């Protein structure tokens, strides 16, 4: 086995063995608590420039298939696991996870005490880190490099705070996902048309809309309001994505153009943070974020608790109780309520404008790897666009 080492920016190191490609990789180190869905995690563009630690000890059991990726490539900067599967065991598998990481040049490390590492990150907060193996660890003369040299490389890596990354993961060209009927065949007349701005969109998101009879025009992150209006949208959607929402000035201005025109809006994850900023609220960096498929969130409209999929390191700073007036431009966007709250730590998990047709959630209702408790939000968006009664709040107090 090839030696590898994980170096954190606070100087702590974790030895292990190379997993996937050998070499060097740098990024913000975060942990994911999901027991399933490692393939969806790896291909989620929101993990761009992040080294992902899997808290589940056994990774790679079901190999890699060609149906489950959320995008066309692996986006994580590096991968940290405890016990990689020695062989894959699934009739759907086409290759092993190790082989896929090698093929895509993803530097990883195995044999790490991920429980101790996760506890460290929970106590100290996410930070920059590097994985080093092969020549990046030993040099061309096979002499192991000094730890101070490796730490210096980690400290020279850019931080996530202030990073504007959506443009690095977005589609280059617009494309269309056609509306589907109940039998899965394309509809000639869609229920609605949505302009979806790709800030790191996952493949399942437009699919969930298409399943509800919606035609989806997926637009690049550089889209202008003219590009959006050219699709004749009944609604606008902002996707998940990586980076610091405080750096996304173009996207916030685009969203304000949408809100000014009273076009129904739905945003998830990064889209939720951008709605918060467009309304004039602040955003802040969480200590270690929410990443996994097991976060309990209460929908205040119904009182129901959902188990939800998350991947975010930033959150919206808005009043949790009662209505507040959106601070932007003297309150021109009217009243807003926090619609969803995380039951673990009271983080804002959703916003709903009371005087505009706009709402958002911080989590991932498309949740290809599960759970599917929040799939109703797509029905709520369709109802907002079509003027129908919201079927998801019937019987709510």
**Active site residue: 269, 310, 312, 340, which one?**
269
Token pair recorded at residue 97: 């996870």
* pLDDT tens digit sequence for 258-283: 999 999 999 999 999 999 999 999 99
CATH of the domain spanning 166-386, picked from 1.10.3470.10, 3.40.50.880, 3.60.110.10, 3.30.420.40:
3.40.50.880
- The Cα 323–Cα 337 span in angstroms is 5
* pLDDT tens digit sequence for 280-293: 999 999 999 999 98
CA angle 52, 163, 149 (to 5 degrees): 60
Query: Mean pLDDT throughout 316-341?
Result: 97
The CA–CA distances, whole Å, from 78 to 49, 110, 133, 218, 258 equal 8, 11, 12, 28, 37
Is position 366 annotated as part of the catalytic site? yes
265 labelled binding-site residue: no
* pLDDT tens digit sequence for 179-223: 999 888 999 899 999 999 999 999 999 999 999 999 999 999 999
Token pair recorded at residue 257: 């153009």
State residue 394's pLDDT score.
55
DSSP state of 354: S
111 labelled binding-site residue: no
344 labelled binding-site residue: no
DSSP state of 369: T
243 labelled binding-site residue: yes
46 labelled binding-site residue: yes
The CA–CA distances, whole Å, from 131 to 26, 106, 128 equal 7, 10, 11
**Active site residue: 217, 312, 340, 364, which one?**
364
Among residues 49, 55, 10, 11, which one has the least CA distance to residue 31? 55
pLDDT band at 396 (very low <50, low <70, confident <90, very high): very low
| Residue 63 pLDDT greater than 90, yes or no | yes
State residue 147's pLDDT score.
82
Is position 269 annotated as part of the catalytic site? yes
* pLDDT tens digit sequence for 145-174: 888 999 999 999 999 999 999 999 999 999
- The Cα 176–Cα 193 span in angstroms is 10
Is position 123 annotated as part of the catalytic site? no
Among residues 102, 76, 117, which one has the least CA distance to residue 288? 117
| Residue 125 pLDDT greater than 50, yes or no | yes
Among residues 187, 191, 195, which one has the least CA distance to residue 235? 195
State residue 144's pLDDT score.
80
Q: Which residues have a Cβ under 8 Å from the Cβ of 1 and sit 6 or more positions away?
A: 17, 18
DSSP lists the bridge partners of residue 298 as 305, 341
| Residue 397 pLDDT greater than 80, yes or no | no
| Residue 393 pLDDT greater than 70, yes or no | no
* pLDDT tens digit sequence for 223-263: 999 999 999 999 999 999 999 999 999 999 999 999 999 99
Q: Which fold has domain 3-155?
A: Glucose Oxidase; domain 1 (3.50.30)
3-state secondary structure of 122: helix
Contact 317, 348 (CB under 8 A): yes
241 labelled binding-site residue: yes
Q: Report domain extents, the chain.
A: 3-155, 166-386
Total number of residues shown for the chain: 397
């Amino acid at each position: 086995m090839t030696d590898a080492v994980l170096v954190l920016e606070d100087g702590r190191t974790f030895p292990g063995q190379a997993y996937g490609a050998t070499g060097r990789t740098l990024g913000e180190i975060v942990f994911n608590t999901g027991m399933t869905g490692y393939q969806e995690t790896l291909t989620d563009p929101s993990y761009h420039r992040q080294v992902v630690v899997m808290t589940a000890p056994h990774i790679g059991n079901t190999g890699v298939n060609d149906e489950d990726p959320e995008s066309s490539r692996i986006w994580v900067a590096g991968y940290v696991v405890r016990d990689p599967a020695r062989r894959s065991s699934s009739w759907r598998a086409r290759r092993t996870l190790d082989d896929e990481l090698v093929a895509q040049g993803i530097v990883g490390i195995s044999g790490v005490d991920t429980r101790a590492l996760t506890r460290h990150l929970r106590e100290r907060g996410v930070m920059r880190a590097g994985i080093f193996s092969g020549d990046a660890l030993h040099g061309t003369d096979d002499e192991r490099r000094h730890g101070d040299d490796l730490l210096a490389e980690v400290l020279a890596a850019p931080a996530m705070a202030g990073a504007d990354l959506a443009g690095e993961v977005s589609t280059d060209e617009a494309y269309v996902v056609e509306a589907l009927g109940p039998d899965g065949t394309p509809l000639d007349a869609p229920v609605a048309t949505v302009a979806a701005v790709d800030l790191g969109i996952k493949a399942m998101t437009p699919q969930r809309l298409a399943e509800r009879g919606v035609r989806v025009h997926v637009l690049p992150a550089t889209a202008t309001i003219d590009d959006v209006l050219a699709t004749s949208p009944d609604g606008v959607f902002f996707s998940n994505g990586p980076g610091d929402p405080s750096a996304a000035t173009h996207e916030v201005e685009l969203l304000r153009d949408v809100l000014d025109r009273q076009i129904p809006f739905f945003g998830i994850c990064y889209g939720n943070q951008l709605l918060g900023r467009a309304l004039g609220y602040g955003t802040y960096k969480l200590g270690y974020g929410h990443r996994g498929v097991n976060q309990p969130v209460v929908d205040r409209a119904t009182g129901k608790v959902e188990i939800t999929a998350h991947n975010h390191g930033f959150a919206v700073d808005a009043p949790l109780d009662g209505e507040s007036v959106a601070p932007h431009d003297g309150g021109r966007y009217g009243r807003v309520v926090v619609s969803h709250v995380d039951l673990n730590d009271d983080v804002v998990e959703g916003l709903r404008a009371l005087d505009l047709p706009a709402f958002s959630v911080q989590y991932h209702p498309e949740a290809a790897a599960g759970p599917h408790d929040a799939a109703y939000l797509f029905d709520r968006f369709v109802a907002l666009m079509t003027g129908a009664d919201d079927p998801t709040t019937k019987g709510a107090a």
